[in-house]
Structure 1
Amino acid sequence: MERHFDLYEHQAQYYETDQMGIIHHSNYIRWFEEARTNLLDQMGFGYAKMEESGVIVPVLAINCIYKSMVRYNDRVYIIPKIEEFNGIRLTISYRIVDKATGELRTTGESKHCFLNKENRPFSLKKEQPKLYDLFDSYLKVDLSIPK
């Protein structure tokens, strides 16, 4: 089944810049979260719905590799992709691409696990099979940038 996503677009804000006039490195992690939240919403199971279902998805690890600078007022696409999913753990990769030039600005990855209301790891496959099937169906779906 073909999956369609609207790409997440962000316009770099002045308050996100540092003294050198480029986006401060800490903001990229926030941008990853914005794009991840948008992806989950588009999948039909955003954080609010997950938490209502008793599922918590904390960040276990995150990394970011800066390729080129983003400056104030630049527009970028932040493109998340579910890379690994086994029902207990989840890995999402990110690409930040300049909207005007298509230049790759940043790459990154976040690792997560699934916890229940008692903050204990659990298997979606066993306890939330519909949610497991949803995530599994989006595994490796690649978003493309409009030409």
Structure 2
Amino acid sequence: MTFTYERKANYYETDMMGVVHHSNYLRYFEEARIAFMDSLGIPYKELEENGIMSPVLSVQCEYKRMVQFGETMLIKVSLIEYNGIRMKLNYEIVDKKSGKVTTRGITSHCFLSKNGRPVSLKNNMTEYHEKFLECLDKVSDNQ
């Protein structure tokens, strides 16, 4: 299952060349990830209200083409791994007008309690665990 998040590049996100600064892509990934989770019925705010955090463990980002102020991006997000305690997501940013890939990335996350201990969604938030598994099943069905 691939979720698509649409976003325009803002002026303040660009550098002196009028190109989106590379650090902003991590923010784009985060925005798209939060929207993706919302679309699954797993609001991140609700996770936090239940004492569960999902920090980033690692990020990979490959820049293929520049994005400039005002261009509209389609940020495609898909869950590629999930085991109840960790998850990994894939991102592909595409220029809406040309359809060309501008950026590819992967983020890895875990689920932790507020005191920093690993949390299993399977044991603590069964409803969310099932939704992640369902999403992962849809991915494997489409391959």
Normalising to structure 1: TM-score of the pair?
0.88
Alignment of 1:30 with 2:27, yes or no, is yes
Compute the displacement of 1:140 (Å): 6.3
Report whether the alignment pairs 1:83 with 2:80. yes
Report the AA paired with residue 130 of structure 1: E
Percent identical among aligned pairs is: 45
2:7 equivalent to 1:10 = yes
Match for residue 116 of structure 2? Answer: 119
Show the counterpart of 1:145. Answer: none
**For the Cα contact (< 8 Å) 2:53–2:111, is it kept in 1?**
yes
Deviates more, 1:23-32 or 1:38-47: 38-47
Q: Please give the root-mean-square deviation of Cα atoms over the aligned residues, in Å.
A: 1.6
Counterpart of 2:40 (choices 40, 43, 46) is 43
Residue pair 1:97, 1:105 contacting (<8 A) in 2 also: yes
**Partner secondary structure for residue 139 of structure 1:** helix
Higher helix proportion (structure 1 or 2): 2
Q: Are residue 131 (structure 1) and residue 128 (structure 2) matched? A: yes
Q: Which residue of 2 aligns with 1:61?
A: 58
Listed one character per residue, the Cα deviations across residues 84-140 of structure 1 (whole Å, up to 9, x for unaligned) are 000111001100001011100000011000112322002222222222111111116
SS in structure 2 at match of 1:69 = coil
Letter of the 1:100 counterpart: K
Which residue of structure 2 lines up, in the alignment, with residue 97 of structure 1? 94
Structure 2: runs of 5+ lacking an equivalent? none
Q: Deviations over 1:3-38 (max 9, x none)?
A: 785x21111111111111111000100000010011
**TM-score normalized by the length of structure 2:** 0.90
Q: Is the CA contact 1:82–1:140 (under 8 Å) kept in the aligned structure 2?
A: no
Gaps of 5+ in 1: 143-147
Write the distance in 2 (CA, Å) between the matches of 1:119 and 1:35.
25
The alignment partner of 2:52 has SS state of coil
Measured in 1, the distance between the counterparts of 2:116 and 2:68 equals 39
**How many matched pairs?**
139
Counterparts of 2:2 and 2:31, CA distance in 1: 18
Superposed displacement of residue 62, structure 1:
0.8
Match of 2:67 in 1: 70
